[in-house]
Structure 1
Amino acid sequence: MLHIKFPFRKGACENCGAMGHKKKMCLERPRSIGAKYTEKDIAPDDHVLPNLSLGYDSKLQNLRIREDPAKYLLNLNEDDPYYDPKSRSMRENPFLGVKGKEVEATKFAGENFIRYTGEVIQANQAQIFAWAARSKGIDVNATAEPTKLEVLQRNFDKERAEVIETAKKGLIEKYGCEEHLEAPAKELLLAQTEQYVEYNRKGKLIKGPEEILL
């Protein structure tokens, strides 16, 4: 709990009464009558950081803890991913394809990993769509007109889905075989089931339900 001295002290702020700054540097709302004259609601003094005499190593040890090694120390092989000391970036995963480093690979997957997560994929798809639209003569810019580009892309995806569905129905009406479009049973896909059946050497059922052949 802060200890506040109620009497106004010489050299304190005339507005709030706190030591450490002057009236023109005070961050409190200007009072109609300053604390210099009322000696009420004296604000706590400004916190002054201690003057620590730190050496060169002490000033630099707080940037990174020892449990967090530098990126260039993760993989010291000759063919390891390139580390750029100027930007302090390693774009590729240093543990990619290294056996026994699966756990370490989950901690740092390279700076390129961020480029393919979240809304970055949608932004890249929008940029590719803008380039394709401009090649077709449609004047649109992904940076200057994002709303226009989003509307164009939404309408394009809708029309493309309708064209695909119309072509699909036309093929079904012409050739039939609609039943083959449905996904087969899971047992047929894997050619196995979780149903256990055991027989003896003579082919007699020992354990499990008896299969009925139709």
Structure 2
Amino acid sequence: MRVVLIRCMGLAVAFKSRDDRRKQIELEDARKAGLAPAEVDEDGKEINPHIPQFMSSAPWYLNADRPSLKHQRKWKSDPNYTKSWYDRGAKIYEADKYRKGACENCGAMTHDTKSCMERPRKVGAKRTNKHIAPDEKIETFELDYDGKRDRWNGYDASSYAYHVIERYEARDEARRKYQKGQQLKKLEDDEEEEEDGLRVDEAKVDESKQMNFAKVEKRVRTTGGGSTGTVRNLRIREDTAKYLLDLDVKSAHYDPKTRSMREDPMPDADPSDKFYGGDNRHRNSGEALEFEKLNTHAWEAFEKGQDIHMQAAPSQAELIYKNYKGIKEKLKSQTKDTILEKYGNAAAEEEIPMELLLGQSESQVEYDRAGRIIKGQEKALPRSKYEEDVYLNNHTCVWGSWWKDHQWGYKCCKQMIQNSYCTGAAGIEAAEAANIYLI
């Protein structure tokens, strides 16, 4: 293949002849048809022949000698390249007095006086040395494509609760008080009603807002399924759905298909304040446990060859389980009577003396006449969690066992250098010669 190189502005540009260009086109068509093997890049991977040329051809400034698709891969390798959210308004440190180089108005180190966003003080923090503002948290990281275009990046959700939710709750509370007052006024004006009617229940102040509890809806047959008939809306819409009790992603798992939440979504809350503690609380209370035992007994009896089935014959299964419990209790009582008859009942006999109760132990230790242990082991005394009786460098006493002239030392050799080697009697003689006394 004849290639002509032309240098233009310091760059080498390759031009092919007409025959070479025709052969190249025929080779590309054969690769697309599967008649020729696909082109291989420098890493040994095949290149899809159907990739357009404007995508497969590398830019001129990369100086690519061999075909490759590296220019299409992710080229940013900065570890700070992320879409993390930054903490808007976060504080890191609050000083007690003014620091050199800080803002003269508020006293923060993260900005200067010109960039200060606080109200200009009559006398700045530099001169008063009071009410120093905390330093802001400054984060430097590069956002990705989604992070740059996220208009909610750094938004504080608590601001919505402060500006919106509290305002609506205050409005609802005022409306509720007004409706209650109107109802009380109406009841006081009506003198023909009985005295029991004067009691006002807050839940019945506005019965029109019970969200159509007794409304009967008609189900119409549709293409998606269903059948005609009537169904009563039994859910009170004022109740909070179980999956909205705790919005934490690590909270109890909610299965939308069966609408079940087995675990407690709020395990740390006060039991007297919560009305829902998970589906397992209902499954472990009432007759649920007895029904579970009945099912387990039916399964085990069926595996052992007994003709019993809980779904096919529930009455038969329940009768067999009832007989089984009676026989089991009878055998249990017979076993208890047999043991009491053979060994006796210690509870029915006379009381054991207090000396024996306090002196009894499960461990047995035998001593000789001299008081030495022959068999067994004495009760171990609790020791400290720190190491004790550890002597280093031939010492027979620990560091700090000797004191003289506001200095600590070793009692065995009377040296005042910690971790030194013990000199024994020679050190004591030298200390006595120096008129050093033991304390």
TM normalised by structure 1 equals 0.46
Higher helix share: 1
Higher strand share: 2
**Over alpha carbons, which structure has the higher Rg?**
2
